[in-house]
């Protein structure tokens, strides 16, 4: 079996990755690190992971593949020695997602720690970059919001169905903010309340623009993205809107069925994208690696409307990382990930 290591297992994404690797039949999690918990048994920090019987170290032991769940800015410096040693590496931070160093430094407000590696990194969305991921040694696991928004819009842009004037309204559970304490995430502050944030520009918008622009002839610059915090633990639901391009669809109700067929064709062979017959709920993806899409047409306004939902810690983070790892190691893409949602 291949040996995997996780740098910074003590965050939500790192812990979820450990949970998923526990049941992987071809890869064994053999080493984990944590900046503030070194020397502690993993089961003491996360009792639900006690069966892994691992101790959190300061540095990774010898492994065959490494994941980093460190924050942006800290992840790249930790990974550079592993990358230079030729180890397959998957970065769950934002450090290698953007190909343009100026974009990274503008959105993240710091100098990039390893700009010479940006063009070597592959954006880890298998539905768009499967063959590149399979050849890569460095994969940047997409952010949670882009993992929901990009699949919702990719078929429409590729087919020229919409004008590039897009609105993305996304709502995320509180785990998306990580384990760092903050007043906004206290129970009394977040419960029974919904709040918008990032209206001046959320960092994940840069990923969305980068990847959607690669699907059409010109950069997609008119995207309004507004994320919201809602009082649940897991899940992202994005509703995406865009005006239909003239003459691309039949008039009347046939347009809806044509849009659904375009989406089903685009994702026909994708194991973790499902085009569904009714608007999905985040509960339908709780704990699994699926992204559910419901495309339709607002006939009154002439707009495409696509509802997308996923579990932000699985398909939006750790599950997609395992999917990428399977491709990098030449394993069946679905290995260790075919899980039903937890309900209710």
What integer pLDDT is reported at residue 339 of this predicted model?
92
Considering the domain architecture, whether residues 296 and 153 belong to the same structural domain is answered as yes
Residue 338 maps to a domain? no
- pLDDT category, 103, cuts 50, 70, 90? very high
Considering the domain architecture, whether residues 241 and 277 belong to the same structural domain is answered as yes
Q: Which two tokens stand for residue 200?
A: 């001046």
Considering the domain architecture, whether residues 169 and 301 belong to the same structural domain is answered as yes
Which whole number is the average pLDDT over 123-147? 98
Residue 333 maps to a domain? no
Read off φ and ψ for residue 321, nearest 5 degrees: -65, -40
Considering the domain architecture, whether residues 164 and 299 belong to the same structural domain is answered as yes
Q: Does the active-site annotation cover 144?
A: yes
Is this prediction's pTM over 0.95? yes
What integer pLDDT is reported at residue 216 of this predicted model?
87
Range of the domain at 78: 2-142+315-328
Q: Domain total for the chain?
A: 2
Integer-rounded Cα radius of gyration of the chain: 20
Considering the domain architecture, whether residues 164 and 126 belong to the same structural domain is answered as no
Residue 230 maps to a domain? yes
pLDDT digits 0-9 by tens, 183-219: 999 999 999 999 999 999 999 999 999 999 999 877 8
Considering the domain architecture, whether residues 151 and 285 belong to the same structural domain is answered as yes
Q: Which two tokens stand for residue 297?
A: 């047409």
Beta bridge mates, 212: none
CATH number at residue 194: 3.30.360.10
Residue 251 maps to a domain? yes
CATH number at residue 131: 3.40.50.720
- pLDDT category, 130, cuts 50, 70, 90? very high
Q: Which two tokens stand for residue 251?
A: 């008039």
35 versus 149: the higher-pLDDT residue is 149
Q: Is 196 helix (H, G, I), strand (E, B) or coil?
A: strand
220 has a pLDDT exceeding 90: no
Asked whether 147 and 208 are in contact (CB, 8 A), the reply is: no
Considering the domain architecture, whether residues 134 and 248 belong to the same structural domain is answered as no
Considering the domain architecture, whether residues 102 and 164 belong to the same structural domain is answered as no
Residue 265 maps to a domain? yes
* CB proximity list for 261: less than 8 A, separation 6 or greater: none
Which whole number is the average pLDDT over 35-59? 96
Which whole number is the average pLDDT over 107-113? 96
Considering the domain architecture, whether residues 155 and 93 belong to the same structural domain is answered as no
253 has a pLDDT exceeding 90: no
Considering the domain architecture, whether residues 181 and 276 belong to the same structural domain is answered as yes
Residue 334 maps to a domain? no
Which whole number is the average pLDDT over 303-317? 98
What integer pLDDT is reported at residue 181 of this predicted model?
86
User: 144-158 and 254-266 helices cross at what angle (nearest 10)?
Assistant: 120
DSSP string covering 132-194, please?
A: HHHH-SEEEPPPHHHHHHHHHHHHHHHTT-B-SEEEEEEEE-GGGG-S---GGGSHHHHTT--
Considering the domain architecture, whether residues 31 and 174 belong to the same structural domain is answered as no
Which whole number is the average pLDDT over 87-98? 98
Residue 343 maps to a domain? no
Asked whether 145 and 208 are in contact (CB, 8 A), the reply is: yes
Considering the domain architecture, whether residues 296 and 198 belong to the same structural domain is answered as yes
User: 144-158 and 126-135 helices cross at what angle (nearest 10)?
Assistant: 110
Residue 115 maps to a domain? yes
**Which position among 144, 260, 291, 309 bears the catalytic label?**
144
């Amino acid at each position: 079996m291949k040996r995997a290591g996780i740098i910074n297992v003590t965050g939500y994404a790192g812990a979820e990755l450990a949970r998923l690797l526990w049941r992987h039949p071809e890869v064994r999690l053999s080493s984990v690190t944590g900046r503030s918990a070194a020397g502690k048994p993993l089961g003491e920090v996360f009792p639900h992971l006690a069966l892994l019987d691992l101790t959190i170290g300061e540095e990774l032991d010898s492994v065959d593949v490494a994941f980093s769940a460190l924050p942006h800015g800290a992840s790249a410096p930790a990974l550079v020695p592993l990358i230079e040693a030729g180890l397959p590496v998957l970065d769950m931070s934002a450090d290698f997602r953007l190909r343009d160093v100026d974009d990274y430094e503008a959105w993240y407000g710091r100098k990039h720690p390893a700009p010479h590696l940006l063009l070597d990194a592959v954006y880890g969305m298998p539905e768009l970059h499967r063959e590149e991921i399979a050849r890569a040694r460095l994969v940047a696991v997409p952010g949670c919001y882009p993992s929901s928004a990009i699949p919702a819009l990719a078929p429409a842009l590729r087919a020229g169905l919409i004008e590039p004037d897009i609105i993305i309204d996304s709502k995320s559970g509180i785990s998306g903010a990580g384990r760092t304490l903050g007043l906004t995430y206290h129970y009394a502050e977040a419960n029974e309340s919904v709040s918008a944030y990032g209206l001046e520009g959320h960092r994940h918008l840069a990923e969305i623009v980068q990847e959607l622009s690669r699907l059409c002839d010109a950069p997609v610059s008119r995207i309004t993205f507004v994320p919201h915090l809602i009082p649940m633990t897991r899940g992202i639901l994005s509703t995406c809107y865009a005006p239909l391009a003239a003459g691309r669809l039949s008039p009347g109700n046939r347009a809806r069925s044509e849009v659904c067929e375009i989406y089903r064709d685009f994702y026909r062979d994708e194991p973790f994208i499902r085009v569904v017959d009714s608007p999905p709920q985040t509960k339908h993806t709780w704990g699994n690696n699926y992204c559910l899409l419901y495309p339709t047409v607002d006939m009154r306004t002439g707009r495409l409307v696509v509802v997308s939902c996923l579990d932000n810690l699985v398909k939006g983070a750790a599950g997609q990382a395992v999917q990428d790892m399977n491709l990098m190691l030449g394993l069946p893409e679905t290995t260790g990930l075919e899980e039903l949602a937890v309900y209710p």
